[in-house]
Amino acid sequence: MREVNVAIVQTIPIVGAVEENLERMDRRIQSICTSSHVDLIVFPELSTTGYECGVRFNDLAERVPGHTTNYLARRASEFGIHLLFGMAQKGKMDSVIYNAAVLIGPDGEILDVYHKAHLKGEEKLIFRPGYRYSVTETGFGTVGVMLGWDLAFPEVARTLALQGAEMLCVPSNWESPHAGEWRAYCSARAYENSAFVVATNRTGEEYTYAFFGDSVVIGPRGQVLSAVESADQEQEDACQTIRIDLSEVQRARKEFKLLQSRLPRTYREVVKMY
């Protein structure tokens, strides 16, 4: 068995209030780690800024490493955990901003920085899209990261799975009223890749969007293993912790042979734009 303790944290970020959001994340990390053993804590997309910041993202975006990553790295190192969270990242040029997810290891080191590839709506006016998918070898297993709308594109999850990802982590800002497609996509990505899906979605309302939560952990056969109950969604934040066995991934892949049965030469249309 390869057991891993995962915590999904569902938050309501305050728009533009980076310091206050960091303090709230800090309190939740301390609460989780002092009450149970965890290997990985996953926060939603843009956890430190909120979603509808518009041109304010120019001021809110930070470099990596920087203040936010240093702040959270201290907590990761203190408790010996992995942390995954979303933030606005400033590129090499100040005018370039990414919707990013940062994975920090138990020694406080930055293990991966992923830039969201599939930008939706007004995100395209603010962020530069990413173009690279990669997996990270951690002390407990191989992790692939997507952000929000990336989940709707099966090519992303499949690419990560083909690179060896056993756990697909999806920090998100998935808006109402699209809860049905959110859960369907989470289950589908798990089924079709024989992988665990760890998907965190925020709650609360901003200027024009409302978010419904429904953060979940789904097993490699599409079974819902943990979910933040709807009754918890009115809280400032909510959390569920679950122990999963990553050895189930290899068992499922060996039994159902989805990845092994692919016929890439028949998929030419997939790489065409239209």
pLDDT, averaged per 10 consecutive residues of the chain (274 residues), comes to 95 96 96 95 98 95 97 97 98 93 98 98 96 96 98 98 98 96 97 98 95 96 87 68 97 95 93 82
Backbone dihedral region for residue 54 (phi beyond 0: left; psi -120 to 50: alpha; all else: beta): left
Position 230 scores a pLDDT of: 53
Continuous H helices in the chain: 18-35, 57-60, 67-79, 123-126, 154-162, 179-193, 247-256
Position 272 scores a pLDDT of: 85
Position 234 scores a pLDDT of: 53
Position 231 scores a pLDDT of: 45
Position 236 scores a pLDDT of: 66
Q: How far apart are CA 97 and CA 79, in angstroms?
A: 30
Give CATH for domain 3-271.
3.60.110.10
Q: Indicate the domain borders of the chain.
A: 3-271
CA distances from 245 to 123, 173, 273 (A): 36, 27, 38
Position 94 scores a pLDDT of: 86
Q: Which two tokens stand for residue 37?
A: 């053993």
